[in-house]
Amino acid sequence: MILERVVISIIVLFVILEQSYAEKSFFKFSHFKNLSRLGIISYGLYCLHFIGILIATTTTKKLGLNTQLWQVFFLDTAIALTLAIVIPG
């Protein structure tokens, strides 16, 4: 188990070093503009999702819209995701 983790860590290290320091790399992620844009958006969502969750759960609780399980799963999630997308824009 320990050897497996060491091997995986070394492989990940080589990938990170290759992406950081290789000038001509076939798999250079900076060449894929859509992938880079998705990374910027997803990082923003990661940073702001807690604010969206907090606002969504507080609002639905005050309105009494989170009394059933499906409301918590679907309504809170949809509102939180929408807020996390709208807040930065």
Query: Which alpha helices (H) appear in the chain, and where do they start and end?
Result: 2-21, 33-63, 69-70, 77-86
pLDDT in tens, 43-66: 878 888 899 899 999 999 999 988
Please compute, for residue 86, the number of CA atoms within 13 A of its CA located in the half-sphere on the CB side: 10
pLDDT of residue 11: 94
Backbone angles phi, psi at 87, to 5 degrees: -55, -50
Higher-scoring residue by pLDDT: 53, 39: 53
- Domain spans in the chain, listed from the N-terminal domain onward: 32-89
Query: Rg of the chain over CA atoms, in angstroms?
Result: 20
CB neighbour list of residue 25: distance below 8 Å, 6 or more residues apart: 18, 19
pLDDT in tens, 9-21: 999 998 888 877 8
pTM higher than 0.75 = no
